[in-house]
Amino acid sequence: MKQVAVIGAGPAGLFAAERLSARGIAVTVHDRMPSAGRKLLMAGRGGLNLTHSEDFERFVARYGAAADRLRPMLEAFPPSALIDWANGLEAETFVGSSGRVFPKAMKASPLLRAWLARLRGQGVRFALRHDWRGEMLGDAMLLALGGAIWPRLGSDGGWRSVLSARGVAAAPLKPSNMGFTVAWTDVFKARFAGQPLKNVRLGFGGRESRGDIVVTNYGIEGGALYALSAALREEMPATVEIDLRPDLSEAQFAAKLARPRGKESLSNFLRKALNLSPLAINLLREAGVGPERLKAVPLALTSAQPVARAISSAGGVSFDAVDESLMLKAWPGVWVAGEMLDWEAPTGGYLLQACFSTAALAADAIVRKLGA
């Protein structure tokens, strides 16, 4: 029986192991952690966003510079296939109001338990607490070692030195979908850290995104910011503009602002006329601007949060270093999948989808190579 070693017990590694073992290949999954799927559990704390239901062409475009490279993999294992797979694990899915796809249980733990039971039922072995140092294992090997986020859960990017020694080109690992530092005053931090700004529009460099952001002790984070994080990361320091009332046209906004204020304080006037929260009102003061800038509050970002604190990472193994099946050109018999490849995407299901799709392509290529 052919032997394949999968290095990394995250979503990409586990999915590759499932497809390989289903074809009668003996699979051992190696991971330095004492249990499998730790990053999947972490990702599912606020709801496990598996994929997205939007139009496929728009979906592919979310991957930016890597879209053309990933397209064949996303076509071979598209969002509909991932949804069917989850439903097959009795993790019935639903589409949220934003188009994102979640298991009805929301958490990752029920899905992971069922998944690991399936893998063990297919004969997959687990070699946990194994710190891979670059040795060749099995008749073929698939690397799914992730980027460099949440290093305490196993992904620290240490594989870059191993692959570099074998002549594999890899771009530096950078934070993606991360927060940014803002020089808040102590008073503002003490009062508002942890509070959200709901349904705002962010603008930067001709790009826009809409959603929520959250004030933190170090600055800001949140979905609306993550959508711009790749562009912002390359321009630090930078200033974003926040539209606190994006549903109001300029004319509507001007009319509300022109209403007689009487003896009301500015704060009370803005709260009543524009339904602004204390956080939104104090953000104006923090930015040093008046209410006329409510649809374009300037916020200076001084730096991006480090990759270890990001939701995902950019950079990794260059697509030029792999063939069309994701096998390393400099190390025949070794494939790569998941986040350790050089692509990035916003949150919204795109991250997990690409991990599954690249794992499916690489695993199927290994099956063909081994003649299984």
Whether 82 and 171 share a structural domain: yes
Considering the domain architecture, whether residues 170 and 203 belong to the same structural domain is answered as no
126: region left, alpha or beta (phi > 0 left; psi from -120 to 50 alpha): beta
| SS3 of 286-352 | HHCCCHHHCCCEEEEECEECCHHHCCEEEEEECHHHECCCCEECCCCCEEECHHHECCCCCCCCHHH
Domain final position from 264, 282, 304: 304
Number of H helices, E strands in the chain: 14, 17
As for how many domains the chain has, the answer is 2
Exposure b/e, 183-205, CB count within 10 A at least 16 = b: ebeeebbeebeeeebeebbbbbe
Q: Judge if 36 and 161 occupy the same domain.
A: yes
Q: Provide the CB-side half-sphere exposure for 195 (13 A, CA).
A: 13
Q: Which of 126, 56, 40 is nearest to 91 (CA)?
A: 40
278-293 pLDDT, tens digit each: 999 999 999 999 999 9
Same domain as 312, residue 299: no
Indicate whether 210 and 116 sit together in one domain. no
pLDDT for 285: 93
Question: What CATH code is carried by the domain that includes residue 135?
Answer: 3.50.50.60
- The pTM score is 0.92
In terms of domains, do 75 and 93 share one?
yes
- Cα 279 from chain centre: 27
Low-confidence ranges of the chain (pLDDT < 50): none
Measured between alpha carbons, how far apart are the two ends of the chain, in Å?
9
Taking CA atoms, 53 is separated from 90, 136, 297, in Å, by 19, 39, 33
Tell me the C-alpha distance between 37 and 35, whole Å. Answer: 7
Helix (H, G, I), strand (E, B) or coil at 123: coil
What is residue 71's predicted lDDT score, i.e. its pLDDT?
Answer: 98
Last residue of a domain, which of 270, 304, 338? 304
Using CA atoms, how far apart are residues 54 and 69, in angstroms rounded to an integer?
A: 20
- The radius of gyration of the chain's CA atoms, rounded to the nearest angstrom, is 23
* Host domain of residue 186: 180-304
pLDDT by residue (tens digit) across 49-72? 999 999 999 999 999 999 999 999
Residues 330 and 241 placed together within one structural domain of the fold: no
Strand positions, DSSP E, the chain: 3-7, 26-31, 51-52, 93-95, 100-103, 125-128, 140-143, 170-176, 180-181, 196-204, 207-215, 219-221, 238-243, 297-301, 303-304, 312-317, 334-336
Whether residues 198 and 123 fall in one domain: no
- If you average pLDDT over every residue of the chain, what do you get? 95
347 and 281: one domain? no
- Residue where one domain finishes, among candidates 287, 304, 321: 304
Residues 199 and 339 in one domain: no
Residues 217, 333, single domain; the answer is no
Same domain? 276 vs 361: no
